[in-house]
Structure formats: C-alpha cells, structure tokens
Structure 1
Amino acid sequence: MRFATWESQGRVSAGVVSDAGLHELPPRTTVLDLVRAGLPAALEAGAAALDGPAVPVESVRLLPPLEPPTVRDFVAFEEHVEGMVAPGGESVPPEWYQAPTFYFTNPYALVGAHDDVAVPPGSQRFDFELEVAVVVGRDGASLSPEQARDHVFGYTVLNDWSARDLQMREMAVKLGPAKGKDSATTLGPWLVTADELEPYRDADGFLALDMRVSVNDTEIGHDLLSNMGWPFEELISYASRGTEVRAGDVLGSGTCGNGGCLAELWGIRGDAAPPPLRPGDVVGMTVEGLGTIRNRVVPGIDLPPVAPARPRPRTRTR
C-alpha cells in the first residue's frame, strides 16, 4: 500500500494512493499516526479509505509523506565512497567497511516530490544524491538485524541535496556535514509499505530496485539498490545500537553508485563534468516500486558572507 500527504487549497490531507488517485483518511489523521499505529492497523485504515472518492494526484501539491522525528543518512554504497573519498584509484578507507556510517540531517528541511529547491546561500557547487529511505515502524533499542526487519514500515525515495563547497569546508575541520546538507531533502512521492517490495528481495536479503537520476531529462546515474554494503535491517540495527529508534524515524541508504550524484563523477573524472546544478535545472529520480520525484532548482536568497573567526588572543587572565 502507498500512503501520501498532500496540500490542496490550503488544506493538508493524508491518504492512500491508488491507480484512481488519492483517497483521504479520516480528518486530522497523519501518515505518522499510521506508522505509529503499526503496519497491520495502517493497512486496515488504508483499505477502508480506498472505499472513498479519489482526488487526482496532478490536482494537488504532494508534501513529504510524513513528518519524521529524526532523519539519519548513511553512506552504504562502496562505489559512491570510491568517487567521493578515494578518487584517482585510491583505496576506500578501511573504516568504511567496519560499520555503517551516518549523520543526522535536518527534519525541518524536508520538501515534497515536486517542490522547487533553492540553491543554499553562498554555494557554487550544488548537487543531488539519489537514495532510498527506510521508515521505522516500531520503537526499539539495540536491535539485532533480525529484530530490525520486523521494525520496517516502508520505503520512499530520498534526494539528499548537497552544497559540496560548503560541505567540504566544514568536513575539513573533521566535523559535519552540516550546512552543506541541511538546505533541502526531498522525500516522496509517497511511502510504500514493506510488503509491496518483498518480491524484489534477492537471495542475499537486499532489495534489487532499479534506481535512476536525470538532469533536464538526460540520465546521469543508474544503479541497483542491492549494491548497498549493508541491507536496511543492518542500518536500523546499527542506528539503534546502545540507543533507540522510534516509529517514524527516517534512515537514508546513502547515495547509490554509478552517477548517483555529481560529486562522485567529479572525483572519478577529475573535473566538474557534468557541471554543478544551476537555477532552472530539473532533477528527476525514479526508483522501481517507489515512484518518481522531480524538483526544479531555483535561485536562493542572497545573504552576507559568514564572518571569519578572530585569531586566538592567547591571554590567560583578565
């Protein structure tokens, strides 16, 4: 089943997606409410909503399918690391293989499947990142991978928009990414429940979904989700290690390989080709079984430069 959130004439609704369109859930019911209620209850509520009238998808503005309490983003594709961290034939850092790595990103910066996305202030190297996100369906702590599989509610497409120049500056200080990543993250077009994707699971337990990204209808990248170094159950398990995950938390796969972002290609080729995103560019992403998102890049706001730090005075007393 597919769940969506949308806005029409100033009113926000949540509902179920069918071939006929969008079927609204009872008023004030959110997709996050359904996730917290658990997959069986959500499927029951969705089946009841399908008996109601359908609103054409093209007549509304799709919002992110849910408002997650937290958003973590992993770096689970080895090929992406080769282009980003180890270009020019260098070895992938051995630390990457030891455990999944993630950072927390901004849950307030989520945008819908067809929303415009502004260039972050001061950035000249704006980029996309083609990912799939898993949505946690049950609270849990220190979960084993086997337990984590029962905590999956569903999946959605994620575009981790990235200001590469800002990102590289802050990561040179051995911290981040932060401002390089928190301008926008697209989630959508809807949240697909885990049961719908089980037919795509391969013999190793990975979801073999076709992933493609284009800029202005020219394909840039193409990969399979099953090229992840860890399945989503391992990512949830690691995120919960010594702490907890909660229903509604979003965990991104990290960028796929083979052109899942521009910076990976820059690292492999040694130059900025294709060029960074500019206002007017349209980035489209399609993931098998999950749907398509398309966002247009627009100019960002013009802000004063950031003030540099003053030299340390080195005085020890007043």
Structure 2
Amino acid sequence: MAKIARWAHDGSIRTGFVAEGQCYALPREAGPQDLFDAGLPATLKLAAATVSSARPVPLGQVRLLAPLAPRTMRDFVAFEEHVEGVTASIDGAAGVVPEWYEAPTFYFTNPHTVRATRETVPIPSGCHLMDLEAEVAAVIGNAESVTGTDLEPGEAHRMIFGYTIMNDWSARDVQSREMRVRLGPSKGKDFATTLGPWIVTADEFEARHDAEGFLPLQMTAFINGIPLGSDLLSNMGWPFAELVAYASQDSLVVPGDVLGSGTCARGCLAELWGRNGGPTPPPLAEGDTVRIEVEGIGTIENTVGGRRREGIPASPARARGRSRAGVPAANLAR
C-alpha cells in the first residue's frame, strides 16, 4: 500500500509517498504521471525503496497539492438515491428515469481547474446556488497486456491504480439552465473540482471488495463541521471496474485518467433541496468550510471564497432567419 501525494515545501514542489505522518520525496524530475505509466506493481516497489532511503519531511510542514494533473476527467452518476433527489431539485421531476438503469452515464469535466485540499474555492460568477458533491474517484494506471480500449471488467479492474476523494463543485442555478437545453452539465461544473488529499493505491482495498466488486467504504460530507449526510461507496449501481470498462468501449482510457463515482446519497445540498421542496439547507456561502471524509482514503477540506466577479453577461442568441438559400458566390468573393 502507498499514499501518493504532491506537496510544496521549502520553495519546491515534490511528488512522493506519505507514510506514518512523513513525506518521502522522489527525485525532483519524477511526477505522478511517471508512476501511472509504470503501473502499480512497479510503483509499490519504488514506494518501499523510497520510504527506506529518502529523507523524511513531516506531513505537517508541507502544503499538499492536488495529487495529480488528470489526463481526462469523466464523472459518473452512479448512486440511485442521489439521482432521485437531485432530479427533483434540478429538473422538478420525480423518480429516476428508466434510462439511468440501462447503463452508466458520465460527462467530461475540466482537468485544468483541479483544486487541492485546503484551497479556497471562490463562488463562480453568475452563481447563487453553490453546492458540493462528495465522491470517490478511481485513477487509471498502466497494466501489463491491457490496451485500455474495449475492456472487460476484469481487465478494467487491473487498470485501477488507486483511489482519491473528489468534490465536484457545482453551480446549481447555472446547471439547471443549461440542462434544459439537453446538454450538460458543463459550465455549471467548469470552475473547480477538488481531488485529494492523496491517491491510495488499489492494493489497499483488494481484500475489502464484496462478491460483486463493490467497496463498502463510509463517505461523509460536512458543512462547517456539521454532518450533511453519510453513505457507503458500495451503494453505487455499478462497481468501478464496470465504470472503467464502459468508458473504454469504442474509446480509450489511459494512465492518468480520473473517473468519478458521482455523488453519494446525501452528499450534496441539491439532493436535499429536491426532497425538501426548496433550498434548505441554504446554498454554500463565503466563509463556509466543506469537508469530505472517506474511510480508508482520508479527508479533503476547502473554504468557500467570495465571488470573483459578477461576470460578463452572456450575449443572448441573435434572432436569425431560416433561409435555406446560401449567399451568392459572387458576393462571397468581394
């Protein structure tokens, strides 16, 4: 087992391993992607060698960074109870659509706006209903003789390098508007995703999978120290191996990709708004502290910052005619 982290200390940024409250750095040129490319068995050997030879730095003396810069980020919606509540909040509809049960559904989110634990996350412009989402994410690594495309679940399981906590921050009012256009979520999720505090390698959880491949890890979200709700990761509709396999169909998953579980039950405000018929508890506000704890992985915590700006209002769509005739070629040449 290894905890892979990135941290800032003494003017430099390092990648390495955390063990027993100490940080053990890899050589300066090494980064997380090198470990994902090497694969899990090689990384575990390197972790043992590094912890036994590198000079330790106390964890309390470093500033943890996001544990990786993802190649891509797919986020699934794998918890039925969450879908039930948030559908009522976002779409004003009851129940879970039949299509949810047919296959896992995901969207791509922004790998360039990843945040670390302890960072301040400002309220995005145009947002008055800011929300958290408590999730677990699988990180993909290289596996011998596995191509990353059209995977069977057993092959996909071998590509799961480790797990980290994920907070898929959400601007619910922006999300609600854009999803009425039958596209998204997109801008409502574009501004921040927290990953951390580190990546716990997958070998740590092998003995904890149930007979169907699910992990019964306790997940709890807190706002200002008050529990919002708890759930088990094993309440997903599909285990992670099946999510990875589905993502790979007619496509490709590669080392450094991140795949989120989707929000656990009672792991966000919008789900409770749907059940309560309105924004109770209230949306996140400047100064609020959001903490997510996952058994066996750790804790991430962020403070909500002030609105960065009111934003530049988007121009409304211009009214256009519906002529089917093109511009004459003679006019185009002028």
Q: Do both share a fold (TM > 0.5)?
A: yes
Structure 1 partner of 2:331: none
SS in 1 for 2:280: coil
Match of 1:45 in 2: 46
Distance 1:89 1:309 in 2: 27
Paired letter, 1:23: Y
AA in 2 matched with 1:31 = P
Superimposed CA distance per residue, residues 151-174 of structure 1 (whole angstroms, 9 cap, x where no aligned partner): 110000000000001111111100
Q: Structure 1: how far apart are the matches of 2:171 and 2:137?
A: 20
87-96 vs 305-314, which moves further: 87-96
> Which of 130, 133, 150 does residue 129 from structure 1 map onto?
133
Offset at residue 58 of structure 1 (A): 2.2
Matches of 1:178 and 1:6 in 2, distance apart? 30
What does 1:266-277 correspond to in 2, within 5 Å? Answer: 266-277=273-284
Is the 1:2–1:191 contact (alpha carbons within 8 Å) kept by the matching residues of 2?
yes
Residue 36 of structure 1 is matched in structure 2 by: 37
CA spacing shift, 1:317–1:89, aligned 2, 3 Å:
closer
* Cα distance in 2, alignment partners of residues 170 and 10 from structure 1: 42
Give me the TM-score of the superposition, normalised by structure 1: 0.96
Q: What does residue 292 of structure 1 align with?
A: 299
Identify which of 78, 81, 87 aligns with 1:79. 81
Pick which of 247-256 and 135-144 moved more: 135-144
Indicate the residue corresponding to 1:62 in structure 2: 64
- Give how far 1:199 is off: 3.0
For normalisation by structure 2, the TM-score amounts to: 0.92
- Helix, strand or coil for the counterpart of 1:278? coil
List aligned pairs for 1:147-226, cutoff 5 A: 147-226=155-234
- Which segment is superposed worse, 305-314 or 134-143? 305-314
**2:88 and 2:224 mapped to 1: Cα distance?**
29
In structure 1, distance between residues paired with 2:117 and 2:207 = 25
Match of 1:117 in 2: 121
Does the 8 A contact of 1:100 with 1:238 survive in 2?
yes
Quote the residue 2:290 is aligned against: 283
Which residue in 1 is equivalent to 2:151?
143
Q: 2:96 — aligned with what?
A: 92
Once the two structures are TM-superposed, the CA of residue 317 in structure 1 deviates from its matched residue by: 5.2
CA separation in 2, counterparts of 1:243 and 1:305?
Answer: 36
Deviations 1:203-253 (A, max 9, x none): 332000000000000000100000000000000000000111001100000
- In the alignment, the residues of structure 1 paired with residue 259 and residue 93 of structure 2 have an alpha-carbon distance, to the nearest angstrom, of 30
Match of 2:270 in 1: 263
AA aligned opposite 2:241: E
Structure 1 unpaired stretches of 5+? none
Greater mean alpha carbon deviation, residues 295-304 or residues 240-249: 295-304
Whole-Å separation in 1 of the counterparts to 2:63 and 2:173: 31
- For structure 1, which segment, 244-253 or 23-32, has the greater mean C-alpha deviation from structure 2 after superposition? 23-32
Answer yes or no: is 1:105 the counterpart of 2:109.
yes
2:317 maps to 309
The two structures, once aligned, show a CA RMSD in angstroms of 1.4
**Counterpart-to-counterpart distance in 2, 1:116 and 1:217:** 16
Contact kept in structure 2, 1:20 and 1:54, CA below 8 Å: no
Residue 90 of structure 1, CA deviation: 2.7
Deviation at 1:91, TM superposition (A): 2.8
Which sits farther off after the overlay, 292-301 or 302-311? Answer: 302-311
Distance 1:58 1:167 in 2: 37
For residue 105 of structure 1, report the CA deviation from its aligned partner: 0.3
In structure 2, runs of 5+ residues without a counterpart are: 328-334
Q: Secondary structure at the match of 2:24?
A: strand
Quick one: percent identity of the two aligned structures? 53
Tell me the amino acid that sits aligned with residue 161 of structure 2. Answer: F
- Please tell me the residue identity of whatever aligns with 1:101: T
SS where residue 140 of structure 1 aligns? coil
Deviation of residue 110 (structure 1)?
Answer: 0.4
Q: 1:246 to 1:317 in 2, by over 3 A?
A: closer
For the residues of structure 2 that align with 1:168 and 1:10, how far apart are their CA atoms? Answer: 42
Aligned ranges 1:230-249 → 2 under 5 Å: 230-249=238-257
